Amino acid sequence: MTPSYDLHSHSIASDGTLTPEELVKRARSAGVDVLALTDHDTVDGISAAQQAARHIGLQLVPGIELSVSWGSHVIHVVGLNINPDDAALTTGLEGLLEFRQWRGEEIGRRLAKHNIAGAYEGAQTYTMGNVISRTHYARWLVAQGLAKDMNAAFKRYLGNGKCAYVKGEWAALEDAVNWITGAGGQAVIAHPARYRLTATRLRKLLAEFREHGGAGLEVVSGSHSRDEMYHMATQARVFELYASAGSDYHGPENPWVDLGRLPALPTGCIPIWQDWGLKRVMSNER
């Protein structure tokens, strides 16, 4: 039987709600054989996930999801099979987390200007301390009764152009790809249909990404419709990118997206994991 891959997931080290151990266990129960932990801009959860995975016979792929500024867009780039201790990656992540921290405080100040006091402290109670994201604000706003659900919190306060939206400089696309590749990993454009790019812009993004050494496109995503999946399968073929598949699971609170419940890659896609077995054998021989 072919193994089941889920190559995009979050733990409480970023904006998921499960600990790395809980995430790995849940993935195993859901029938996932190979799981990538891809927290936003941090590798903090990886060693705990790896240990838990060893115990239950799941293969854990060390990963990351980097925030990238590309023109006026924020693009997410997933890194798979990275060495989490790589020096250049570590330095890159320090810069991203410094910006994320300032931006997290700035969101709090903007909400205070809109007569919502204590939001930063409130959002912090949902984090592990190192990574503060809009997701944590959204959870707090919902708990306060200031938004009816997460989506409403983004629509009203946190989304692009809304009162607490802070523009800023995340990583450059080229740097993000280099950090991942330099750490021995493969770079993948996450959930490409979520950016609402025009056809021209999407082609430009994928061409640039390829030029910088990007390897894959997340054709199958928990956030893609079937139309979007087939569209991105075509783009992956045209730009000669490997296809990846990931749920983008954040926790059991969201019933729409679960671990491992993903459609198969459309025909004609070359799976990003195609040579992983080979690579592992080679690295064992060294």
Give the interface with ligand AMP as residue ranges (CB under 6 A).
Answer: 15, 40, 67, 133-135, 138, 150-151, 154, 250
Indicate left, alpha or beta for 217 from its phi (over 0: left) and psi (-120 to 50: alpha): beta
| Size of residue set near Mn ion by CB under 5 A | 5
Rounded Cα gap, residues 256 and 149, in angstroms:
14
Q: Smallest gap, in angstroms, from Cβ of residue 276 to ligand AMP?
A: 25
Residue (52 or 131) nearer to Mn ion, CB: 131
* Own/partner pairs, 115-123, CB within 8 angstroms, 24+ separation: 116/141, 116/144, 116/146
Whether the Cβ atoms of residue 233 and residue 266 lie closer than 8 Å to each other: yes
Q: Smallest gap, in angstroms, from Cβ of residue 274 to ligand AMP?
A: 27
44 binds, among Mn ion, ligand AMP, none (CB under 5 to 8 A by kind): none
Q: Smallest gap, in angstroms, from Cβ of residue 127 to Mn ion?
A: 12
Whether the Cβ atoms of residue 201 and residue 89 lie closer than 8 Å to each other: no
Q: In what order do the strands lie in the sheet with 59-70?
A: 5-6, 34-37, 59-70, 73-80, 186-189, 216-221, 242-246
Rounded Cα gap, residues 247 and 245, in angstroms:
7
Indicate which single residue of 5, 13, 15, 193 sits in contact with Mn ion (rule: CB under 5 A): 15
Neighbouring C-alpha atoms within 13 Å toward the C-beta of 280: 7
The packing angle between helices 87-113 and 173-182, to 10°, is 140
Residue (65 or 175) nearer to Mn ion, CB: 65
Residue (133 or 221) nearer to ligand AMP, CB: 133
Residue (40 or 224) nearer to ligand AMP, CB: 40
Residue (110 or 250) nearer to ligand AMP, CB: 250
Q: Smallest gap, in angstroms, from Cβ of residue 65 to ligand AMP?
A: 8
Binding mask 54-73 for Mn ion (x = CB under 5 A): -----------x--------
Check residue 86 for interaction with Mn ion (CB under 5 A): no
Residues that bind Mn ion (CB under 5 A): 15, 65, 76, 190, 248
